């Protein structure tokens, strides 16, 4: 297995970092790595905001409920951004652009561009000995994050990425069986087979949770997923995204 | 620079492949690499569909207008998928889940999960000597792609990934200056500085397009972006995504 595959296959989320801060060189390597990702129609429809201001980190940690949002080597927030392109146009041209900007197509473009860049950032960071953790919980109070970062129209804070030197060695979390996730030529509607594979995975996960060194628990993947989807979560996101100018018609 | 960074920094999209097909081992390495990416709340909210059936490839190539959608070593389609989780629940529980499924939050979760996995797939492929090209143009006729792949409710075909042995050596396309894309602690509202940096980039791009070996042209990044946003594109996506059960309230 080559070094790149080793980096990819060795991934685990790190939730405890040493106090050591990233150097500017490390930050730039990560950001430049992110920029190398493919981008839809060359739009590069994202902005990455690096947070090292302690007060801002404190606020974000409160919103997310995760201490490693402030206790890390550097914190990045990945934002979908079509404001940059919009802003290059005159008022008259902006009016013409409006109908596209408001189409869900452009929300897909910006979200996918941002995530491709972010995964490159994660791999780049891990390749130089750093650990990472994606932070979706900045969406716990997306309006507040929007205010803190002073984001203009057409810019949405999608997720954070905490980066730093690992101060823990967590087990690697299993993944769904390949045959559940990978289908051939069309969607696999063999529900019996899929359910059987997921059921085997559920047993594996129950045993993983019981054996792991921290935060042991007893439920299965299916139980976890169903519980999560039965609790209403972040119900303000649909309206927030619309208010930002996306997904409107 | 380590091997992983070299892989990341050496990326260019490949649009011409040799006739050599990927082996099953290569396909599995790519898919397992994809699966190692971080996933929101452990949802793994994606399905990857590998296409090697020639007739299906032909249909997809027609939709996308890109010959390398059929002429490659393997073609993958990355789908956002919450159907898997939904399908694990009983009818009564599904009704309880509905309100979350229809929230844009879950569309973000599934789209980001899918893209993180896809970028891992791309890097994994490149690390073993293959070339890749992301294919957003499957969304040119997303309903037709949906039919061809027989996708159920809550599954959306986001983009393709053509993979194979490169049969061309394209130049690397420049990226926006780091200071345009990377901001510190809050969104950078210094428009004058951003516009100046983009203007310099525009000159660089004009010169890149004039000099590159194929498909030379004369416009700038800004001109390209504005032109693209002034033409209505894929206007059926908003409704399609809603019909699939997402972004509804």
Answer whether residue B236 is part of any domain: no
- Smallest Cβ–Cβ distance between B8 and the set A5, A123, A173 belongs to A123
DSSP H helices in B41-190 = 54-64, 83-87, 91-101, 104-127, 142-148, 178-181
Q: What is the mean pLDDT of chain A?
A: 96
Is the Cβ pair B152, A225 closer than 8 Å? no
Helix (H) or strand (E) holding A43: none
- Which residues from chain A sit within 8 angstroms of residue B54, using beta carbons? none
Q: A206 and A243 in contact (C-beta within 8 Å)?
A: no
- The CA dihedral of B20, B25, B30, B31, to the nearest 10 degrees, is 120
Give the residue numbers spanning the domain of A142: 3-170
Same structural domain for residues A197 and A110? no
Same structural domain for residues A69 and A35? yes
Same structural domain for residues B184 and B158? no
Same structural domain for residues B82 and B194? no
Answer whether residue B34 is part of any domain: yes
- Stretches where chain B sits below pLDDT 50 are none
Same structural domain for residues B147 and B208? no
Nearest to A10 by CA among B97, B33, B84: B33
Same structural domain for residues A15 and A121? yes
Residue B48: the pLDDT is 99
Select from A47, A99, A112 the residue whose CB has the most chain B CBs within 10 Å, as the one to mutate to test that interface.
A112
Answer whether residue B82 is part of any domain: yes
Residue B215: the pLDDT is 75
Residue A218: the pLDDT is 74
Same structural domain for residues A98 and A129? yes
Class of residue B124 by CB neighbours under 10 A (exposed 0-12, middle 13-18, buried 19+): buried
Answer whether residue B249 is part of any domain: no
Is the Cβ pair A36, B249 closer than 8 Å? no
Q: How large a percentage of chain A has pLDDT more than 70?
A: 100
Overall domain count for chain A: 2
Answer whether residue A22 is part of any domain: yes
* Cα–Cα dist A136/B38, whole Å: 11
Same structural domain for residues A17 and A120? yes
Mean pLDDT for A240-248 is 95
Q: A144 and A62 in contact (C-beta within 8 Å)?
A: no
Nearest-neighbour CA in chain B from A229: distance (Å): 5
* Cα–Cα dist A84/A151, whole Å: 11
- Which residues from chain B sit within 8 angstroms of residue A103, using beta carbons? 233-235, 237-238
Answer whether residue A184 is part of any domain: yes
Mean pLDDT for A56-77 is 98
Answer whether residue A68 is part of any domain: yes
Segment A79-123, tens digit of pLDDT: 999 999 999 999 999 999 999 999 999 999 999 999 999 999 999
The strand ranges marked E within chain B are 46-51, 74-81, 131-135, 155-164, 182-184
Q: Would you place residue A249 in the very low, low, confident or very high pLDDT band (cuts 50, 70, 90)?
A: confident
Is the Cβ pair B28, A186 closer than 8 Å? no
Mean pLDDT for A48-62 is 98
Residue A220: the pLDDT is 95
Select from B1, B2, B3, B8 the residue whose CB has the most chain A CBs within 10 Å, as the one to mutate to test that interface.
B8
Residue A40: the pLDDT is 97
Answer whether residue B246 is part of any domain: no
- CATH value at residue B82: 3.40.109.10
Taking phi over 0 as left and psi of -120 to 50 as alpha, with beta for the rest, B154 belongs to: left
The domain boundary residue, chosen from A123, A144, A170:
A170
Same structural domain for residues B33 and B112? yes
- What are the phi and psi torsion angles at B47 (to 5°)? -130, 135
Same structural domain for residues A141 and A216? no
Nearest-neighbour CA in chain A from B61: distance (Å): 14
Q: How many residues does chain A have?
A: 249
Asked whether residue A27 carries a pLDDT value surpassing 80, the answer given is yes
Half-sphere exposure at residue B135, Cβ-oriented, CA atoms within 13 angstroms: 33
Q: What is the ipTM of this complex?
A: 0.98
- Which residues from chain A sit within 8 angstroms of residue B92, using beta carbons? none
Is the Cβ pair B185, A56 closer than 8 Å? yes
Q: B51 and B75 in contact (C-beta within 8 Å)?
A: yes
Same structural domain for residues B141 and B213? no
Nearest to A209 by CA among B87, B33, B42, B47: B42
The domain boundary residue, chosen from B170, B197, B212:
B170
Same structural domain for residues B103 and B196? no
Helix (H) or strand (E) holding B197: helix B191-211
Cα Rg of chain A, angstroms? 20
Helix (H) or strand (E) holding A133: strand A131-135
CA distances from B221 to A36, A66, A88, B135 (A): 16, 39, 10, 20
Q: B222 and B198 in contact (C-beta within 8 Å)?
A: yes
Segment A139-157, tens digit of pLDDT: 999 999 999 999 999 999 9
Nearest-neighbour CA in chain A from B230: distance (Å): 5
Residue B86: the pLDDT is 95
* Cα–Cα dist B68/B57, whole Å: 10
Asked whether residue A216 carries a pLDDT value surpassing 90, the answer given is no
């Amino acid at each position: 297995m080559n070094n790149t595959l080793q980096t990819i296959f060795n991934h685990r989320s790190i939730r405890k970092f040493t106090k050591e801060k990233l150097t500017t060189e490390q930050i730039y390597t990560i950001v430049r790595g992110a920029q190398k990702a493919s981008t839809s129609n060359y739009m590069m429809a994202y902005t990455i905001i690096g947070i090292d201001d302690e007060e801002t980190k404190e606020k974000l940690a409160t919103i997310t409920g995760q201490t490693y949002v402030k206790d890390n080597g550097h914190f990045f927030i990945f934002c979908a951004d079509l404001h940059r392109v919009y802003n290059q146009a005159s008022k008259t041209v902006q009016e013409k652009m409006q109908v596209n900007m408001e189409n869900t197509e452009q929300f897909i473009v910006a979200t996918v561009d941002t995530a491709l860049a972010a995964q490159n950032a994660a791999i780049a960071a891990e390749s130089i000995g750093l650990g990472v953790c994606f932070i979706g919980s900045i969406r716990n109070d997306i309006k507040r994050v929007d205010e803190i970062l002073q984001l203009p129209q057409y810019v949405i804070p999608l997720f954070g990425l905490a980066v730093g030197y690992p101060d823990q060695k967590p087990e690697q979390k299993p993944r769904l069986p390949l045959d559940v996730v990978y289908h051939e030529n069309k969607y696999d509607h063999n529900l019996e087979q899929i359910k059987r594979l997921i059921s085997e995975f559920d047993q594996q996960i129950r045993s993983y949770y019981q054996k792991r060194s921290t935060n042991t628990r007893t439920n299965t993947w299916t139980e976890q997923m169903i519980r999560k989807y039965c609790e209403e979560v972040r119900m303000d996101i649909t309206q927030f995204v619309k208010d930002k100018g996306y997904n409107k018609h």
